[in-house]
């Protein structure tokens, strides 16, 4: 299996990618692009489940999304480390997989691990292009970094129509049986384990989709807006309110 991918999607914890951009990952794969997923921690601070359970669940979810691979790093859950050692590890990951696009957590999210991860990935993606940083690999800088939005949501730079892959996204989320709604679970209840949490995920996707005239959407923010080759087509099927 080749190491290189078109898109490399990062999350601080397993399930971050599914929650924030699982529909986009599934859509990219459906369109013939290759996607890899990298989780930066073992999610060892989670209230429910264990790192071992989460690893099995994340592998199942990656299979549902048809990701090329899923890698789990160990930067420390609950106090994600952002030192030079972690930066160099990310540089090696980016150089190995040589993505055109990196998807990272938004750098001002409510969860400090997400915000730290977003900043660290952003810097590592730039440094990965510097030939004088020697990791024994050819330098590689992605074309762009786009940020998935989990909790805090600035006005999105663009929204991806995930109507055709929303059911796949939800199946991937539900692969995390230890984390999300399960009426038979005897574990301590959390915000994530309540049915209303999954309802909110669907509601948010419907709201994001409404911005672009779609049933379901996933929002992204970027410092470098994408080029539009068809201005009329980008707004087809919509009208001014």
CA 192 to chain centre: 17
- Letter string b/e over residues 129-164, b meaning 16 or more CB atoms within 10 A of that residue's CB: eeeebeeeeebbebebbbbbbbeeeeebebbbbbee
CA distance between the termini of the chain: 48
Q: Which residues pair with 78 in a beta bridge?
A: none
Q: Give the lowest-confidence range in 41-45, 80-84, 179-183.
A: 179-183
* SS3 call for 189: coil
More confident residue, 46 or 203: 203
C-alpha to C-alpha distance for 113 and 116, rounded to whole angstroms: 5
Name which CATH class applies to 7-225. Answer: alpha beta
38 sits in the region (left: phi over 0; alpha: psi -120 to 50; else beta) called beta
CA 114, 185, 196, 56 torsion: positive or negative? positive
pLDDT tier at 72, thresholds 50, 70, 90: very high
35 within 8 A of 101, measured Cβ to Cβ:
no
**pLDDT at residue 144 in the model:** 96
CA 115 to chain centre: 13
Which tokens hold the place of 49?
């489940």
CA 25, 29, 32, 37 torsion: positive or negative? positive
Q: Give the lowest-confidence range in 19-28, 30-39, 145-154.
A: 145-154
**pLDDT at residue 241 in the model:** 57
68 within 8 A of 34, measured Cβ to Cβ:
yes
Average confidence score pLDDT of the chain: 92
C-alpha to C-alpha distance for 26 and 205, rounded to whole angstroms: 15
C-alpha to C-alpha distance for 225 and 8, rounded to whole angstroms: 18
H/E stretch holding 8 reads strand 7-11
Beta-strand relationship, 69-72 and 35-39 = parallel
Q: Please state whether the predicted TM-score (pTM) of the whole model is above 0.85.
A: yes
């Amino acid at each position: 299996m080749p190491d290189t991918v078109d898109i490399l999607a990062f999350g601080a914890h397993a399930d971050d990618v599914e929650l924030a951009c699982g529909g986009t990952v599934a859509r990219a794969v459906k369109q013939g692009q290759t996607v890899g997923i990298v989780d930066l921690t073992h999610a060892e601070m989670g209230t429910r489940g264990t790192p071992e359970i989460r690893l099995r669940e994340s592998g199942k979810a990656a299979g549902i999304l048809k990701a090329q691979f899923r890698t789990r790093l160990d930067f420390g859950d609950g106090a994600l480390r952002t030192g030079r050692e972690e930066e160099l590890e990310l540089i090696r990951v980016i150089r190995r997989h040589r993505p055109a696009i990196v998807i990272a957590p938004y750098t001002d999210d409510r969860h400090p691990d997400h915000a730290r991860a977003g900043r660290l990935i952003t810097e590592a993606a730039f440094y990965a292009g510097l030939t004088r940083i020697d990791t024994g690999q050819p330098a590689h800088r992605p074309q762009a970094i786009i940020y998935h939005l989990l909790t805090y949501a600035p006005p999105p730079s663009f929204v991806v129509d995930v109507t055709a892959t929303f059911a796949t996204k939800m199946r991937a989320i539900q692969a995390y049986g230890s984390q999300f709604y399960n009426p038979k679970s005897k574990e301590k209840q959390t915000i994530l384990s309540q049915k209303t949490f999954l309802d909110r995920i669907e509601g948010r996707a419907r709201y994001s989709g409404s911005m672009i005239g779609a049933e379901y959407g996933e929002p992204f923010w970027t410092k470098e807006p994408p080029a539009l080759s068809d201005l009329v087509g980008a707004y087809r099927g919509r009208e001014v309110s």
